[in-house]
């Protein structure tokens, strides 16, 4: 068994946030005594990533995803537990570590706004001390893979969001990092651009064997890239395993899609009607009832077509988070 | 790549792209520069008038002496100027600092290079402005080769004192969101005690003592006085030593505060 690239043990992060009520009295009181409250952003999480693995890190807003990525990239110091990435404790931020990892934040940019992309890349070349040959060949490859030819000489401010994100990726992997932390890398991008970024991540992973930990709100990203997902909610890990297993574990329901032809009667007796559009109807039924309901449907109604499906992963995850929140 | 070659190549690239960046900001930069040109001209006009009304000199300074002083100061102030105290809070809030922390070099290097880029680009504005001021106010120079040779290290050391001090103070932004207040205190002290409002030897005695015990004089006035031949040759070595001591102090403060600032950033998040 090779050494894991990322090993996280009981990692925790608590923030102290000031508490102040509304109004003048509360404002005055806060002058004398600052009250603080502890918020546990991440609570004793543990997981490992093997070298070369691409893992989706899922959770609703505020679940602790970004906090975890920031700890693993060395920006935040944990309040408990340990992490080892490529043999380094990330928050020591030693140069040997920083040269081997990268963090891409979909909502932030590292490229300088007012100068051409190539100048920002050139700065990174100098900062990472890349040799001319290595730089040129990596750059050529990135220009090809991300289709940057037209963009590279333009100032960043003149690029669209999608174009900028492609250039951000080029800047982020110019030094050929072995570990990539990607925080919402496709946020706000159109479908075509999302696909482009996705296929870039896939080919970078394939050609370099880099380890990737990725957060995204778009399940399409996760389905395309990750066999394994880690689901985090309120700072704790709810699930860590194969993407397919997530649906098995959390979905107590199946979806039955039927084509009823001209029949227009009531379906409520068979299950929860999710949608009904012309002759097509979608029913949601408890998993264990699926064979029985399917049998009844086929026996009772003039069915033209019938399929049984797992619900979309988005729905499963949404349900998991909602149920957790309701508890 | 060896350390020295790495840094030479690094500074080459950072300064080159820094120049490109500053050319993009030319309109804003010219406005910045106007302040640096107008301020010494105002004090020059004031003190020349005072000198003429007092029968040709004020505290031994003639209008031609003031003209030489303020034209030199215009250059020294430009070449030692830094803006990092104005931008650090923004950097933390916008997440720029996070990216800086993820790179395998100290962020001060790109600041130094951008600063050099700005200074080189803006000489295009400063040199003609200084020529006009010189032509108008007819300065008298006592500057020879010895003064010019001594001026170069005095200027480089003055830049180092000012840059490192301001970079350390800029780190206050990690602890407070009221950096403007910190900045106001600093810049008020700087303008009075660095020789910008008046040459230091014109200040009241107690203020001269205050000035002598603080770093401000060594950031601006000292190289100006060296250039004008107002520092006796015997006192040059002691002057350079004092500048070096302030640099050491600022470096010590910088590394101490930086370590704590990064630790704090890591604790509270960006």
Q: What is the pLDDT of residues A123-150, one digit of tens each?
A: 999 999 999 999 999 999 999 999 999 9
Q: What is the pLDDT of residues A199-212, one digit of tens each?
A: 999 999 999 999 99
Q: Find the helix or strand (DSSP H, E) in which B255 lies.
A: helix B233-268
Query: Which structural domain, as residue segments, surrounds residue B236?
Result: 3-268
Answer whether B24 sits within 8 Å of A114, measured CB to CB.
yes
Average of per-residue pLDDT values in chain B:
93
Q: What is the pLDDT of residues A217-237, one digit of tens each?
A: 888 899 899 999 999 988 999
Residue A239 lies in a domain: yes
Answer whether B95 sits within 8 Å of A131, measured CB to CB.
no
Average of per-residue pLDDT values in chain A:
90
Neighbour count for residue A112 (Cβ, 10 Å): 23
**Whether residues A158 and A288 fall in one domain:** no
Neighbour count for residue B154 (Cβ, 10 Å): 24
Per-residue pLDDT at B270 exceeds 80: no
**Whether residues A59 and A89 fall in one domain:** yes
Distances (CA, A) of B19 to A190, B117, B221, B266: 35, 4, 27, 32
- How many structural domains is chain B composed of? 1
Q: Is B252 on the interface with A (CB under 8 A)?
A: no
Distance from CA of A14 to the nearest CA of B (A): 9
Residue A325 lies in a domain: no
**Whether residues A242 and A265 fall in one domain:** no
Residue of chain B whose Cα is closest to the Cα of A75 = B266
A124 contacts on B by Cβ (under 8 Å):
103
- Would you say A180 and A173 are in contact if contact means Cβ atoms under 8 Å apart? yes
- How many structural domains is chain A composed of? 2
State how far the Cα of B172 lies from the Cα of B85, in Å rounded to an integer. 9
Per-residue pLDDT at A327 exceeds 60: no
**Whether residues A60 and A75 fall in one domain:** yes
Q: Is B192 on the interface with A (CB under 8 A)?
A: no
Residue A319 lies in a domain: no
A75 contacts on B by Cβ (under 8 Å):
98, 101-102, 265-266, 269-270
Range in A59-68, A168-177, B186-195 with the lowest mean pLDDT: A59-68
B102 contacts on A by Cβ (under 8 Å):
73-75, 98, 101-103
At residue A117 the predicted structure's pLDDT band, cuts being 50, 70 and 90, is: very high
Residue A324: per-residue pLDDT: 62
User: Final residue of a domain: which of A228, A248, A268?
Assistant: A248
Residue A317 lies in a domain: no
**Whether residues A126 and A259 fall in one domain:** no
Per-residue pLDDT at B105 exceeds 60: yes
Any idea what the CATH number is for the domain that residue A35 is in? 3.40.50.300
Q: Find the helix or strand (DSSP H, E) in which A111 lies.
A: none
Which of A17, A68, A124, A126 should we substitute to test contact with B (largest number of B Cβ atoms within 10 Å)?
A126
At residue B108 the predicted structure's pLDDT band, cuts being 50, 70 and 90, is: very high
Count how many pairs of residues, chain A against chain B, have C-beta atoms within 8 Å. 81
Residue A147 lies in a domain: yes
Considering A253-262, A275-284, B166-175, the range whose residues carry the highest mean pLDDT is: B166-175
State how far the Cα of B67 lies from the Cα of B47, in Å rounded to an integer. 9
Q: What is the pLDDT of residues B47-87, one digit of tens each?
A: 999 999 999 999 999 999 999 999 999 999 999 999 999 99
Give the angle subtended at the CA of B223 by the CAs of B219 and B226, to the nearest 5°: 150
**Whether residues A196 and A290 fall in one domain:** no
State how far the Cα of B171 lies from the Cα of B262, in Å rounded to an integer. 10
State how far the Cα of B105 lies from the Cα of A314, in Å rounded to an integer. 41
Give the angle subtended at the CA of B129 by the CAs of B127 and B134, to the nearest 5°: 95
Distance from CA of A15 to the nearest CA of B (A): 6
Torsion of CA A126, A130, A134, A138, to 10 degrees: -60
Q: What is the pLDDT of residues A266-277, one digit of tens each?
A: 888 898 898 888
Residue A2: per-residue pLDDT: 67
Tokens of B207: 């203020």
Per-residue pLDDT at A325 exceeds 70: no
Residue A210 lies in a domain: yes
* DSSP letter, residue A158: G
Q: What is the pLDDT of residues B206-248, one digit of tens each?
A: 999 998 899 999 999 999 999 999 999 999 999 999 999 999 9
Residue B61: per-residue pLDDT: 95
State how far the Cα of A158 lies from the Cα of A176, in Å rounded to an integer. 27
User: Final residue of a domain: which of A248, A281, A301?
Assistant: A248
Residue A324 lies in a domain: no
Residue A67: per-residue pLDDT: 94
| The length of chain B, given as a count of residues | 270
Answer whether B13 sits within 8 Å of A123, measured CB to CB.
yes
**Whether residues A76 and A214 fall in one domain:** yes
Per-residue pLDDT at B254 exceeds 80: yes
Query: Rounded to the nearest 5°, which phi and psi values hold at B46?
Result: -60, -50
Residue B60: per-residue pLDDT: 92
Residues β-bridged to residue A55: A213, A228
DSSP letters for B178-202:
-HHHHHHHHHHHHHHHTTSSS-GGG
Residue of chain A whose Cα is closest to the Cα of B105 = A127
**Whether residues A20 and A40 fall in one domain:** yes
Burial group, residue B189, by CB count within 10 angstroms (0-12, 13-18, 19+): middle
Residue A326: per-residue pLDDT: 58
Secondary structure, 3-state, A168-200 = HHHHHHCCCCCEEEEECCCCCCCHHHHHHHHHH
Distance from CA of A221 to the nearest CA of B (A): 24
Arithmetic mean of pLDDT, B162-169 = 96
CA atoms within 13 A on the CB side of A22: 0
Distance from CA of B15 to the nearest CA of A (A): 10
Residue A192 lies in a domain: yes
**Whether residues A124 and A240 fall in one domain:** yes
Query: Which structural domain, as residue segments, surrounds residue A160?
Result: 4-248
């Amino acid at each position: 068994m090779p050494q894991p690239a990322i090993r996280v043990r009981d990692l925790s992060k608590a923030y102290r946030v000031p508490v102040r009520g509304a109004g003048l009295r509360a404002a005055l009181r806060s002058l004398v005594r600052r009250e603080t409250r502890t918020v546990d952003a991440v609570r004793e999480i543990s997981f490992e990533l093997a070298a070369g693995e691409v893992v989706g890190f899922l959770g609703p807003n505020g679940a602790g995803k970004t906090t975890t990525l920031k700890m693993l990239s060395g920006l935040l110091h944990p309040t408990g537990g340990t992490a080892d990435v490529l043999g380094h404790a990330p928050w020591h931020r030693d140069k040997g570590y920083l040269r081997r990892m990268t963090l891409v934040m979909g909502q932030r940019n590292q490229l300088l706004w007012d100068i051409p992309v190539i100048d920002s890349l050139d700065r990174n070349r100098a900062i990472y001390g890349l040799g001319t040959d290595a730089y040129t060949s990596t750059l050529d490859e990135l220009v090809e893979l991300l289709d940057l030819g037209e963009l590279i000489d333009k100032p960043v401010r003149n690029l669209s969001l999608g174009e900028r994100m492609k250039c951000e990726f080029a800047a982020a992997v110019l030094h050929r990092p072995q570990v990539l932390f990607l925080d919402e890398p496709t946020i706000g991008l159109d479908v075509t651009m999302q696909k482009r970024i996705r296929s870039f991540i896939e080919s970078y992973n394939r050609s370099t064997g880099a380890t990737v930990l990725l957060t995204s709100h778009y399940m399409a990203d996760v389905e395309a890239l990750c066999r394994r997902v880690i689901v985090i909610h309120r700072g704790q890990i709810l699930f860590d395993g194969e993407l397919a297993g997530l649906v098995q574990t959390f979905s107590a329901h199946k979806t039955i899609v039927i084509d009823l032809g001209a029949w227009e009667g009531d379906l409520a007796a068979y299950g929860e009607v999710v949608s009904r559009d012309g002759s097509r109807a979608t029913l949601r039924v408890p998993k264990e009832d699926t064979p029985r309901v399917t049998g009844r449907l086929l026996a009772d109604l003039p069915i033209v077509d019938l399929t049984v499906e797992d619900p979309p992963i988005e729905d499963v995850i949404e349900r998991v988070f909602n149920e957790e929140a309701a508890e | 790549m060896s350390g020295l070659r790495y840094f030479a190549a690094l500074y080459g690239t950072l300064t080159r792209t820094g120049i490109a960046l500053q050319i993009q900001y030319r309109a804003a930069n010219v406005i910045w520069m106007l302040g640096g040109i107008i301020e010494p001209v105002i004090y020059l006009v004031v003190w020349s008038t005072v000198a003429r009304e007092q029968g040709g000199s004020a505290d031994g300074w003639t209008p031609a002496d003031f003209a030489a002083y303020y034209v030199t100061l215009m250059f020294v102030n430009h070449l030692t100027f830094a803006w990092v105290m104005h931008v650090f809070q923004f950097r933390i809030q916008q997440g720029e600092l996070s990216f800086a922390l993820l790179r395998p070099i100290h962020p001060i290097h790109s600041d130094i290079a951008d600063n050099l880029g700005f200074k080189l680009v803006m000489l295009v504005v400063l040199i003609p402005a200084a020529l006009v001021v010189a032509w108008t106010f007819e300065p008298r120079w006592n500057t020879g080769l010895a003064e010019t040779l001594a001026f170069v290290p005095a200027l480089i050391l003055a830049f180092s004192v000012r840059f490192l001090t301001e970079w350390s103070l800029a780190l206050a932004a990690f602890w407070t969101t009221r950096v403007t207040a910190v900045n106001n205190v600093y810049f008020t002290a700087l303008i009075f005690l660095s020789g910008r409002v008046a040459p230091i030897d014109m200040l009241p005695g107690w203020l001269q003592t205050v000035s002598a015990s603080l770093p401000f004089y060594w950031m601006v006035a000292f190289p100006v006085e060296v250039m004008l031949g107002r520092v006796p040759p015997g006192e040059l070595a002691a002057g350079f030593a004092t500048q070096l001591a302030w640099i050491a102090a600022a470096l010590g403060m910088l590394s101490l505060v930086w370590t704590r600032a990064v630790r704090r950033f890591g604790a509270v998040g960006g």
